[in-house]
A and B are shown apart, each in its own frame.
Chain A
């Protein structure tokens, strides 16, 4: 149905550069999630794709056609906003049919299309209500209905669930996933919630401060982050970053010194040895486990018993904070001393610039398909 391609897209508001050259290709029918902390430029990128903000430089190509300066309506997109942005003076039916009305669609056709969309979203019984007489979840569905009505090529969502309460959000997340699989349209979805991103995305785009940090399938990003930012952004509780005390060359790689005197050996090129400055180990809390010979000696400060898992907050010998997520229930209390070990395979090493030294360049998209 539709591919979207962004080529070195830049966006500035006056002197402030908000997007500093984004490159991205979205395949037909893909569910792409843009994720990143608040203020990193996700909405701005989405509004540039929608045509609500002029693109400062670079290109936007939809289905092979250059749309950099095209009117929003020519791009074949629909958008769902964070605030829903329903027209308060129109009924639900008028809201859903507004785009068709503006496009001079015959009345009978509008009516049948609105009825069809309303049935799909279970809004049939409230077509004559005004938005203020609807609950948050219903308003959300009307906003989605308005997007559906015009049969766009591409759907854009800007944090559509962030105004809903937690249980409704989980429900709508599933609804959206179903909607995507039944419609098969290309969808671009913005969120700052990593759970939403991980569960919905075919491909995830992690952004920070106006830059795309990494693009890939959710688990790929989780297991193989390109840099410290992506590693720290995904996962809850976040990855531990432990500063190493030394880096020494060995037969098979380099040995990194841990606080407390132990070392961990990782297969990295020898030239890195000698300079431990700024090197950090990245260990996910869930990759740690209690072991008698554990190399991380932790003095426990706080323990959170969640029933299914136990989260331990503590300090290493040199005072660095570490969080561990242990499976099941454990008899640990503040003040205890724990020895933790970790899986070396899942260990990451970050250099002073934040690049992941154990990053494995992924097999390109096409090849992976051919192999499988």
Chain B
């Protein structure tokens, strides 16, 4: 018995150490990048671990205006938020029907979507580019958005399907008895209860698409259509010629991180909370 407890204690210690270490590591780099973005380039190399003595907010202005990060930011925000909204509009009802509907071929359809998750993106670069080009959507934000939505649907449906299946089916029965049509059951009962699941996939998709690089590199050419991840990359490339303006680069990285952090602060509570508690039993 005591062996059992101590074995569990050790396990717990190890997991705390691993998780704690990993969290420290991440936080250290985030803080370091933010601090570095406020230093002069000389200071950055002279004393990499110091707190900046006179914060250089100018780094941000330079990145935002001169390096066009303002435009890229708007592009990214537009593409990512429109994509996430479109993904949810398609995937939430689809996942509900796939998890609860009673029709022939439901399982086959589910597996078909799950299969979509297994396709490696690089395999799709050329066909996607050709398709987009033939529709005159290559090098447009609209085209990029469509590709993002299409490629995110399998994963999103997969996660939401699991979530919907975990909701008690007696709630649906109760709603049907109360006179709801199928659509009303979804709108008044299942959708509100799926809130945490929807928040989870919204965050995961937002973060994934916000940081997405490969597809936008393939599909976007013109500088005015660049997203932030392409912007960072172009900044690195340009540094080869203009000499290393590392502080501006870190300012750019900070700009990229901010929306993700804000989103997590707003939605993380929703992600974790189990809203269904107390409804049944």
Stretch of A126-134, A201-209, A271-279 on the interface side? A126-134
B193 touches A99 (CB 8 A): no
**Residues A116-137 near B (CB distance < 8 A):** 130-134
CB distance from B171 to the nearest CB of A (A): 5
Collect the chain A residues with CB atoms within 8 Å of residue B177's CB.
50, 52, 72-73, 77-79, 99
Of the candidates A79, A102, A103, A131, the one whose C-beta lies within 8 Å of that of B279 is A131
B179 touches A81 (CB 8 A): no
B188 touches A98 (CB 8 A): yes
Chain B interface residue count, Cβ-Cβ cutoff 8 angstroms = 24
B173 touches A79 (CB 8 A): yes
Collect the chain A residues with CB atoms within 8 Å of residue B188's CB.
87, 98, 102
**Residues A138-162 near B (CB distance < 8 A):** 139, 146, 150
**Residues A80-99 near B (CB distance < 8 A):** 81-89, 98-99
**Residues A40-75 near B (CB distance < 8 A):** 47, 50-52, 72-73
Q: Taking A85-B279, A88-B276, A132-B277 as contacts, is the C-beta distance between A47 and B173 under 8 angstroms? A: yes
Query: Closest B-chain residue to A86, C-beta based?
Result: B279
Of the candidates B174, B180, B276, the one whose C-beta lies within 8 Å of that of A81 is B174
Residue interface mask B261-281, A partner, CB < 8 A = 1: 000000000000001111111
Query: Closest B-chain residue to A83, C-beta based?
Result: B280
Residue interface mask A265-298, B partner, CB < 8 A = 1: 0000000000000000000000000000000000
Q: A52 CA to B100 CA in the complex, in Å? A: 14
Q: A130 CA to B193 CA in the complex, in Å? A: 14
Residue interface mask A155-175, B partner, CB < 8 A = 1: 000000001000000000000
Check if B236 is an interface residue, CB within 8 A of chain A.
no
A130 touches B278 (CB 8 A): yes
Of the candidates A73, A78, A85, the one whose C-beta lies within 8 Å of that of B280 is A85
Check if B168 is an interface residue, CB within 8 A of chain A.
yes
Q: A72 CA to B181 CA in the complex, in Å? A: 10
A132 touches B189 (CB 8 A): no
Q: Chain A CB within 10 Å — which of B174, B189, B279 has the most?
A: B174
Q: A81 CA to B177 CA in the complex, in Å? A: 11
Check if B178 is an interface residue, CB within 8 A of chain A.
yes
Collect the chain B residues with CB atoms within 8 Å of residue A163's CB.
281
CB distance from B87 to the nearest CB of A (A): 23
B171 touches A102 (CB 8 A): no
A89 touches B173 (CB 8 A): no
Query: Closest A-chain residue to B274, C-beta based?
Result: A88
**Residues B231-281 near A (CB distance < 8 A):** 275-281
Check if B214 is an interface residue, CB within 8 A of chain A.
no
Query: Closest A-chain residue to B278, C-beta based?
Result: A132
Of the candidates B176, B179, B192, the one whose C-beta lies within 8 Å of that of A103 is B179
B193 touches A89 (CB 8 A): yes
Q: Taking A72-B176, A81-B174 as contacts, is the C-beta distance between A89 and B275 under 8 angstroms? A: yes
CB distance from B163 to the nearest CB of A (A): 15
A84 touches B280 (CB 8 A): yes
Collect the chain A residues with CB atoms within 8 Å of residue B111's CB.
none
Q: A78 CA to B277 CA in the complex, in Å? A: 24
CB distance from B105 to the nearest CB of A (A): 15
CB distance from B200 to the nearest CB of A (A): 17
Q: Chain B CB within 10 Å — which of A98, A130, A150 has the most?
A: A98
A86 touches B280 (CB 8 A): yes
Q: Taking A72-B177, A103-B179 as contacts, is the C-beta distance between A83 and B278 under 8 angstroms? A: no
Collect the chain A residues with CB atoms within 8 Å of residue B193's CB.
88-89
Q: A102 CA to B192 CA in the complex, in Å? A: 16
Q: A52 CA to B170 CA in the complex, in Å? A: 10
Q: A163 CA to B276 CA in the complex, in Å? A: 18
Check if B184 is an interface residue, CB within 8 A of chain A.
yes
Q: A371 CA to B223 CA in the complex, in Å? A: 98
B174 touches A131 (CB 8 A): no
Query: Closest A-chain residue to B176, C-beta based?
Result: A72
Collect the chain A residues with CB atoms within 8 Å of residue B180's CB.
102
B184 touches A85 (CB 8 A): no
Q: Taking A98-B178, A102-B184 as contacts, is the C-beta distance between A131 and B278 under 8 angstroms? A: yes
Q: A51 CA to B174 CA in the complex, in Å? A: 12
Query: Closest B-chain residue to A52, C-beta based?
Result: B173
Query: Closest B-chain residue to A143, C-beta based?
Result: B174
Q: A88 CA to B281 CA in the complex, in Å? A: 11
B174 touches A85 (CB 8 A): yes
Collect the chain B residues with CB atoms within 8 Å of residue A99's CB.
177-179
B173 touches A85 (CB 8 A): yes
A81 touches B170 (CB 8 A): yes
Q: Taking A73-B179, A102-B180, A146-B178 as contacts, is the C-beta distance between A81 and B278 under 8 angstroms? A: no
B168 touches A85 (CB 8 A): yes
Collect the chain A residues with CB atoms within 8 Å of residue B178's CB.
73, 98-99, 102, 146, 150
Q: Chain A CB within 10 Å — which of B171, B192, B275, B278 has the most?
A: B278
Collect the chain A residues with CB atoms within 8 Å of residue B192's CB.
89
Collect the chain B residues with CB atoms within 8 Å of residue A150's CB.
178-179
Collect the chain A residues with CB atoms within 8 Å of residue B179's CB.
72-73, 99, 102-103, 150
Q: A235 CA to B160 CA in the complex, in Å? A: 48
Collect the chain B residues with CB atoms within 8 Å of residue A88's CB.
193, 275-280
Collect the chain A residues with CB atoms within 8 Å of residue B170's CB.
81-83, 85
**28 pairs from A and B in contact (CB 8 Å cutoff):** A52-B173, A52-B177, A72-B177, A73-B177, A73-B179, A78-B177, A79-B177, A83-B170, A83-B280, A83-B281, A84-B280, A85-B279, A87-B171, A87-B175, A87-B189, A88-B193, A88-B275, A88-B276, A88-B279, A89-B195, A89-B275, A98-B175, A98-B178, A102-B180, A132-B277, A133-B278, A146-B178, A150-B178
Residues of B whose CB lies within 8 Å of any CB of A are 168, 170-171, 173-180, 184, 188-189, 192-193, 195, 275-281
**Known contacts A98-B178, A150-B178, then 5 further A-B pairs from the complex at CB < 8 Å, ordered by chain A residue:** A83-B280, A98-B175, A102-B179, A102-B184, A146-B178
By Cβ-Cβ distance, the 8 closest A-B pairs, closest first, are A132-B278, A88-B279, A83-B280, A99-B178, A85-B170, A85-B174, A73-B179, A102-B179
